[in-house]
Amino acid sequence: MNGRYTLTIVKPRAVEKGYTAPILNMIHEGGFRISALKMLRFNRDDAERFYEVHRGRPFYEGLIEFMISGPIVVAILEKEHAVEDFRKLIGNTDPALAEEGTIRKLYAESVRSNAVHGSDSDENAAREASFFFSTAERF
Ligand code: ATP
Ligand code: MG
C-alpha cells in the first residue's frame, strides 16, 4: 500500500470554523478514498513528536501552540500518487500564494492557520499514518 496513501489533518481553526465537511467533500471529489478517520485534540508531547522535523525552526513554537489549540480531524487518504496529488489539491503553504480552487486558497487564513496538513513523502505518510492509527483503525 506504500505510495498509495497520504495523511491529512484538518487543523484547529478550520475545524472550529466548520470547514471539516467541506474539506472532506473536496477530498472525495478529488478522487481520494478515506481509509481511516478520527477527531482528537493533540496534547503538547504528541504535537512536538509529530512536528519533530521542524524543531528549532523559528515558527516551531507557534506551530505547536496552534496545533494544540483545539480539536483536529485526521484521515488517511488513498489514491494512486496520493502524496503528490494531495499536495496539489491543498496548494501552497501560504494561502496568499495558493492556486485558485485549492483547499488552502478556499479555507486557510494564513501560513500558520493554513487549514490542512498533507504528508510530504511516502516515507512520512507511512510514519504519520501509524502515528495516529492502529492497524485495527485502518480500513
Ligand atoms: P504541512 O506539513 O502542514 O502540510 P507544509 O508541508 O506546506 O505544511 P511545512 O514546511 O511542512 O509546510 O511547515 C509545517 C507547518 O508549519 C505549515 O503547515 C505551517 O502551519 C507552519 N509553518 C511553516 N512555515 C511557517 C512560517 N514561516 N510561519 C508560520 N508557520 C509556518
Ligand atoms: Mg510539511
Residue tagged 487564513 (cell numbers): 109
The stretch 48-64 carries a mean pLDDT of 97
SS3 content of the chain, % helix, strand, coil (to 5): 45, 15, 40
Which residue's CA lies nearest to atom 20 of ligand 1?
112
Instruction: Write down the pLDDT at residue 2.
Output: 56
The stretch 69-73 carries a mean pLDDT of 98
DSSP 80: T
Strand order in the sheet with 33-40: 33-40, 72-78, 5-10, 116-118
Residue 78 has pLDDT above 90, yes or no: yes
Taking a 5 Å cut-off on Cβ, the residues next to ion ligand 2 are: 120
The Å distance, Cα 12 to ligand 2 centre, comes to: 16
Span 83-128, pLDDT tens digits = 999 999 999 999 999 999 999 999 999 999 999 999 999 999 999 9
Going by pLDDT thresholds of 50, 70 and 90, the confidence category of residue 47 is: very high
The Å distance, Cα 29 to ligand 2 centre, comes to: 23
Give the predicted TM-score (pTM) of the model.
0.97
Question: Smallest Cα–Cα separation from 18: which of 27, 6, 10?
Answer: 10
The Å distance, Cα 131 to ligand 2 centre, comes to: 15
The stretch 1-22 carries a mean pLDDT of 93
| Pairwise CA distance, residues 84 & 50, whole Å | 20
| Pairwise CA distance, residues 136 & 139, whole Å | 8
Instruction: Write down the pLDDT at residue 126.
Output: 98
The stretch 38-50 carries a mean pLDDT of 98
- Catalytic (active-site) positions: 117
Instruction: Write down the pLDDT at residue 3.
Output: 81
Going by pLDDT thresholds of 50, 70 and 90, the confidence category of residue 39 is: very high
| Contact (CB, 8 A) for 32 and 77 | yes
Backbone torsion region of residue 8, taken as left when φ is above 0, otherwise alpha when ψ lies between -120 and 50, otherwise beta: beta
Task: For ligand 1, pick from 9, 63, 65 the residue to mutate: most ligand atoms within 8 Å of CB.
Answer: 63
Residue tagged 501560513 (cell numbers): 111
CATH architecture of 5-134: 2-Layer Sandwich (3.30)
